[in-house]
DNA sequence: ATGGTTGTTCCACAA
């Protein structure tokens, strides 16, 4: 089973790219971020024609997340718990294909001397608390999406370029580690422990993609039960190389069928 | 140090 995540940077602007990706890559589950539309504007018919069910959390203009799956989607939960005042559409979670999946769009947090950065850190605290609760059930789950955090120096093209960027601040990376060290597996890094210059995002500016100047900020974090089934994980750079591309490219992993319990 | 680009909305803001 193939699970992928992709920040499309407007699903309206990216619908041809999305349709081509679904046809070619054939993920069983696709986690989407930055839809930039409301739920009633979601292209459910076009996506349904390709054999995908969808669960969506939208809002006008900004944010927006979705789960697409070839299998039925159930037990949909919209919004990250922990703050009733937070109305950003950044988190959706559901059951599909026998696993729990979440699509998340973590706040960017720039500039760091503004409330945007404290919102990012507060959001990460809530994600940590929610992850703690998910882990108590010992389920197979994946938290996938645009984390807007590069975990380590190897995940950025230039340490200088991100010295004051919220994606690489020590506070952001510490909050990411707090979640990871609960026992989750960064699927890409688990399969490619020594790979360098492996990025998932390249700015539209200054020819960044052509020059290989990117960041690894999109991640698939697996629960222990799902990490046991991890077969492969990689970054698919093809969609980023297209005309009218998103500034992010998909990350995917291949998961084996669950093995029956031996007792 | 600045400006480089894209998307959406309304002529700025977010990334």
Residues A204-216: tens digit of each pLDDT: 999 999 999 999 9
The alpha carbon of residue A262 and the mean position of all alpha carbons in its chain are separated, in whole angstroms, by 33
What is the predicted pLDDT for the residue at A262?
73
What is the predicted pLDDT for the residue at A259?
81
For residue range A45-73, list pLDDT tens digits in order: 999 999 999 999 999 999 999 999 999 99
Side-chain half-sphere exposure of A27, counting CA atoms within 13 A: 27
Check whether residue A9 has its CB closer than 7 Å to nucleic acid strand B. yes
- Partnered with residue A55 across adjacent β-strands are A67
**How, if at all, do strands A91-96 and A141-146 pair?**
unpaired
Closest-CA residue to A184 (of A130, A221, A228, A144): A221
Q: Separation of CA A36 and C1' B10 in angstroms?
A: 16
Kindly report the CA angle at A28 between A198 and A214, in degrees rounded to 5? 15
Q: Which nucleotides of chain B have an atom under 7 angstroms from any protein CB? A: 3-9, 14-15
The answer to whether position A183 is within a domain reads: yes
Closest CA to the C1' of B8: that residue is: A61
Domain tally for chain A?
Answer: 1
Closest-CA residue to A25 (of A245, A256, A236): A236
What is the predicted pLDDT for the residue at A240?
98
The answer to whether position A262 is within a domain reads: no
Instruction: Round to whole Å and give the CA distance between A261 and A172.
Output: 38
The answer to whether position A70 is within a domain reads: yes
Q: Is the pTM of this model over 0.95?
A: yes
The answer to whether position A261 is within a domain reads: no
Q: Separation of CA A188 and C1' B15 in angstroms?
A: 24
Percent of chain A with pLDDT over 70: 100
Q: Separation of CA A247 and C1' B8 in angstroms?
A: 16
Which range of residues forms the domain containing residue A146? 2-255
**How, if at all, do strands A185-186 and A218-222 pair?**
antiparallel
The answer to whether position A222 is within a domain reads: yes
CATH number of the domain encompassing residue A196: 3.60.10.10
Q: Find which nucleotide's C1' atom is closest to A246's CA.
A: B6
Q: Separation of CA A263 and C1' B4 in angstroms?
A: 60
The answer to whether position A263 is within a domain reads: no
The answer to whether position A260 is within a domain reads: no
Q: Separation of CA A62 and C1' B12 in angstroms?
A: 14
Q: Find which nucleotide's C1' atom is closest to A37's CA.
A: B8
Q: A137-165 b/e with 16+ CB inside 10 Å = b?
A: eeebbbbbbbbbbbbeeebbbeeeebeeb
* Segments of chain A scoring below 50 in pLDDT: none
Q: Find which nucleotide's C1' atom is closest to A41's CA.
A: B8
């Amino acid at each position: 089973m193939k699970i992928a995540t992709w920040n499309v940077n407007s699903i309206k602007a990216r619908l041809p790219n999305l349709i081509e990706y679904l046809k070619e890559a054939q993920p069983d589950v696709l986690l989407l971020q930055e839809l930039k539309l409301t739920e009633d504007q979601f292209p459910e018919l076009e996506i349904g024609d390709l054999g995908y069910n969808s669960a969506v959390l939208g809002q006008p203009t900004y944010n927006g997340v979705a789960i697409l799956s070839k299998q039925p989607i159930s037990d949909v939960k919209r919004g990250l718990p922990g703050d009733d005042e937070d109305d950003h559409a950044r988190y959706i979670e559901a059951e599909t294909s026998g696993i729990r999946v979440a699509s998340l769009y973590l706040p960017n947090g720039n500039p760091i001397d503004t409330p945007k950065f404290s919102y990012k850190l507060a959001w990460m605290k809530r994600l940590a608390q929610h992850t703690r609760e998910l882990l108590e059930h010992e389920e197979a789950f994946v938290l996938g999406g645009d984390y807007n955090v590069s975990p380590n120096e190897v995940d950025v093209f230039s340490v200088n370029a991100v010295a004051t960027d919220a994606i690489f601040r020590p506070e952001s990376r510490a909050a990411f580690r707090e979640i990871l060290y609960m026992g989750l597996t960064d699927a890409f890094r688990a399969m490619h422990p020594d790979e360098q210059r492996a990025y998932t995002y390249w700015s539209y500016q200054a020819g960044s993609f052509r020059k290989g100047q990117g960041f690894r900020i999109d991640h698939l974090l697996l629960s222990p039960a799902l990490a046991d089934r991890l077969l492969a994980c990689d970054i698919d750079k093809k969609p980023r190389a297209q005309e009218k591309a998103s500034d992010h490219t998909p990350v995917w992993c291949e998961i084996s069928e669950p093995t029956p319990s031996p007792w």
